């Protein structure tokens, strides 16, 4: 079996590798190239150097979208992970119906982002109308809260599953030894369980952080960036720049925004991974 694998592994690797190169590597390289160009079609381009990047950081809509996205990411990442961990703690105490609760909490993650956005738009606008408050498209603060609620509702169940797996991997004899030594539930939580599930914290924080920064379809469906782009996030801002503005210069600026967006997500993710991994302990 091992000889067959060592002999024929290119047959299995090559299709996936080609798909990855065609679907990701080549478009990424081509996109970086176009970020230095002025163009309307990719066959007719004019090199403009760093001008597109200069225009990116002078675009107030991009800067506002960045601040809005950063605030949303911080709030949603904290809420999702705290709530998911709290639910996981409850569901690992051996209560009745644990499997049912896990299934119910996980189900929202199976709903597509566009559909989820429109469902919550109807729900939240109905609540706001009954409270005689401006609708989501007329109030950026309500749009921000709505996006946080939507993101939490969709992601908490998924992160809960990861935290449940992490908590179940904590050695039971370690907890029993702590109880014999007189540790209470709070001390066991903060001195044993949380340090031991830091690998799960690393994974969940990475996923929620990157998912929040890259949020697009829910933003389109829930608020569409209204009012006046006040609830527009980075991914939607890039889309609107590339497809929603007329003029040859905006295509290149849209590509430059995408490149900057990529760098922002990579840098923030690497910093988060380094920080959380430094807190992990060996089991």
* CATH code for the domain in which residue 101 is found: 1.10.3720.10
Is the bond preceding 227 in cis, omega lying within 30 degrees of 0? yes
The answer to whether residue 259 scores a pLDDT higher than 90 is: yes
Is 266 domain-assigned? yes
Please state the pTM of the whole predicted model: 0.88
Is 118 domain-assigned? yes
The answer to whether residue 178 scores a pLDDT higher than 70 is: yes
Report pLDDT for 61: 92
Domain count, the chain: 1
Is 212 domain-assigned? yes
Is 80 domain-assigned? yes
Is 261 domain-assigned? yes
Is 47 domain-assigned? no
Q: How far apart are CA 212 and CA 214, in angstroms?
A: 5
Average pLDDT value for the chain: 87
Q: Whole domain around residue 214: which residue ranges? A: 54-278
Q: 195 to each of 36, 82, 170, 187, how far by Cα in Å? A: 46, 15, 10, 12
**Cα angle, residue 208 at apex, residues 161 and 213 outer, rounded to 5°:** 160
Q: What is the pLDDT of residues 114-134, one digit of tens each?
A: 888 899 999 999 999 998 888
Q: How far apart are CA 53 and CA 39, in angstroms?
A: 15
The answer to whether residue 167 scores a pLDDT higher than 70 is: yes
Residue with the two structure tokens 């993101």 = 151
Is 7 domain-assigned? no
Is 23 domain-assigned? no
Q: How far apart are CA 242 and CA 238, in angstroms?
A: 6
Q: Which two tokens stand for residue 245?
A: 């503005």
Q: How far apart are CA 18 and CA 25, in angstroms?
A: 10
């Amino acid at each position: 079996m091992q000889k067959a694998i060592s002999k024929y592994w290119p047959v299995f690797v090559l299709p996936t590798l080609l798909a990855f190169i065609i679907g990701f590597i080549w478009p990424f390289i081509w996109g970086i190239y176009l970020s230095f160009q002025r163009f309307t079609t990719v066959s007719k381009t004019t090199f403009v150097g760093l001008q597109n990047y200069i225009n990116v950081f002078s675009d107030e809509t991009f800067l506002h979208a960045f601040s809005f996205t950063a605030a949303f990411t911080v709030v949603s990442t904290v809420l999702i992970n705290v709530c998911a961990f709290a639910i996981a703690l409850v569901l690992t105490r051996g209560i009745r119906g644990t499997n049912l609760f896990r299934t119910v909490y996980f189900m929202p993650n199976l709903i597509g982002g566009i559909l989820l956005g429109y469902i919550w738009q109807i729900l939240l606008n109905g609540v706001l109308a009954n409270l005689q408050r401006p609708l989501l498209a007329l109030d950026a603060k309500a749009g921000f809260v709505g996006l946080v609620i939507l993101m939490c509702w969709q992601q908490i169940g998924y992160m809960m599953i990861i935290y449940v797996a992490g908590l179940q991997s904590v050695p039971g004899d370690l907890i029993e030894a702590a109880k014999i030594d007189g540790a209470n539930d709070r001390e066991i939580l903060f001195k044993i369980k949380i340090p031991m599930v830091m690998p799960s914290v690393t994974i969940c924080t990475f996923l929620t952080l990157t998912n929040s920064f890259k949020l697009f379809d829910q933003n389109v469906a829930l608020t569409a960036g209204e009012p006046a782009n006040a609830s527009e996030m980075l991914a939607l801002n890039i889309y609107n720049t590339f497809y929603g503005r007329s003029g040859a210069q905006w295509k290149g600026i849209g590509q430059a925004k995408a490149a900057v967006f990529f760098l922002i997500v990579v840098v923030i993710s690497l910093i988060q991974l380094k920080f959380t991994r430094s807190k992990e302990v060996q089991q």
